[in-house]
Structure 1
């Protein structure tokens, strides 16, 4: 009986993974990422006060988001069409795309490890992270009309 339950559970898990929509999943992660960076940008611009604990929490959320960004699962072959702004270059240069995302993750982890003590430190970190975002968006994203 126990083996049957385990087998059914594994089949259910496989079926749910098979029905996942990589395009919607990656769009949800990017929207979440944008919301977090947007909150940090408000602090950098002086629209919200600098609170070291709150900033660290946001950076940790950004790291968790980046760690969920599994390039192979989110960009399988065949997901370059439909409601997506992912550029064909992703599939033409998957190694370069992965390297860009790996750099982003490393920079976010570095920001968390060196928790900014003031807004100037945060500005530097957001500048680096924003540059990573720009690199990816310029090279691997189709601009909307």
Structure 2
């Protein structure tokens, strides 16, 4: 009996640790996305000068990161528990969430294909990227605080 209890406890601990890794991995992706968007936003706000090479670098890094998002691998069933702001709505509407991720992939790919050549174009690109992020966050993220 002790062996069964130990085995079940070990399995539960391993499962919790696996979900913690998945959660940490997807949080790292989102933090990296925020970093790249932040570089662009600083230019839009006038906190940094427009720099076409920095725009291309930030858009490329953002797009590379976004294209790697695998909903099934990053949001497995049960990974809504723990230190996460992922909303349970993700698992209730996985197809809708996947559609939002796919839209984000399209938006970032389009931005890389035609990077902003000036500040006005960057403002438009950042607006589109921000709207895409915001739409997903409103529907599929639990607000902290």
Q: TM-score range by the shorter chain?
A: 0.7 to 0.9
- The DSSP-based 3-state class of the residue aligned with 1:86 is coil
Structure 1 residue runs of 4 or more that deviate by more than 4 Å after TM superposition: none
What is the rounded CA distance, in whole Å, between the counterparts of 2:80 and 2:92 in structure 1? Answer: 11
**Cα separation, 1, equivalents of 2:112 and 2:121:** 12
1:26-65 aligned within 5 A = 26-65=26-65
Q: Which runs of 5+ in 2 are unaligned?
A: 1-16
Partner of 2:24: 24
* TM-score, scaled to structure 2: 0.85
Q: Deviations over 1:43-100 (max 9, x none)?
A: 1111111111111111000001101211111000010111001000000000000100
Unaligned runs of 5+ in 1: 1-17
Q: What is the RMSD computed on CA atoms of the aligned residues? A: 1.3
Aligned to 2:76, the other structure's residue is in SS state coil
- 1:73 and 2:73 aligned: yes
Which residue number in structure 2 is paired with residue 89 of structure 1?
89
In structure 2, how many angstroms separate the alpha carbons of the residues matched to 1:94 and 1:39?
A: 31
Aligned length, in residue pairs: 128
Secondary structure of residue in 2 paired with 1:27: helix
Hey, what's the Cα distance between the residues in 2 that align with 1:66 and 1:106? Answer: 10
Give the C-alpha shift of residue 19 in structure 1: 5.0
> Partners in 2 of 1:143 and 1:60 — Cα distance?
28
Partner of 2:106: 106
Match of 2:141 in 1: 141
Report the 3-state secondary structure (helix = DSSP H, G, I; strand = E; otherwise coil) of the residue aligned with 1:106.
Answer: helix
